[in-house]
Amino acid sequence: MIRHMMRATALDPDFYNYVEASPQLTGQAFLVVVFANTLAFFGTWVGLEFSVGEEISRFFNRWVGMGSWPVPEQGGFIVVVVVGVLAAIAGWVVWAAVTTFVGTKVFHGTTSMGEMLRVLGFAQSPRVIGIIPLLGPVGSVWALVASVVAIREGQDFGTARAIATGIVGWLAWFGVLWAVSLLGVAIF
């Protein structure tokens, strides 16, 4: 799985074509989403907790409307990581569904939901660098670029169509991530 993640992170189009055609890798794609996002959320928590200072933490508290952001009163950083990973899984599924629909119906690509789940799952691989505090945004942008490559190879169309499809899917993913995160923290 680590080798697959390295090839995904290297933006290897041949790898994404291989993943697209390999239904047995769906479970690994799921594990990549869980693993990469666990590391990224943990790194984000560490970065916010220990480096940005109390004033910025209070700003996030007011802006997001949460208790003691980034650590809720009950459960601490474990809640942040678990809720973040659950949101990432939900967002991954929604993103795959939206990119499947938009890519095939609007841009006449050729893919299935399973293929999009696999390629977009492995495209989350660069997020592992988020374990290093304050590098999370770099990993997120890298994963977004990997997602464009994944969509392009998974849908079998050009980069411009992959970017357009990816933007629509990313907006849906971001909405799910935000909603699940707020709901999860509100519950805890």
Going by pLDDT thresholds of 50, 70 and 90, the confidence category of residue 69 is very low
**pLDDT at site 70:** 47
Amino acid at 22: S
- Whether the full predicted model's pTM is greater than 0.85, yes or no, is no
Would you call the peptide bond into 126 cis, given omega within 30 degrees of 0 as the criterion?
A: no
Region of 98 please: left (phi>0), alpha (psi -120 to 50) or beta.
alpha
Tokens of 100: 């499947």
| Averaged pLDDT for residues 103-118 | 95
Tell me the per-residue pLDDT of 19-64, one tens digit each, with 9 for 90 and over. Answer: 999 999 999 999 999 999 888 877 876 666 565 555 565 555 554 4
**Contacts (Cβ under 8 Å, ≥6 apart) of 151:** 99, 103, 116, 119, 120, 162, 165, 166, 169
Q: What is the pLDDT of residues 138-174, one digit of tens each?
A: 998 999 999 999 999 999 999 999 999 999 988 888 8
Query: Mean pLDDT of all residues in the chain?
Result: 83
> In whole angstroms, what is the distance from residue 176 CA to residue 85 CA?
12
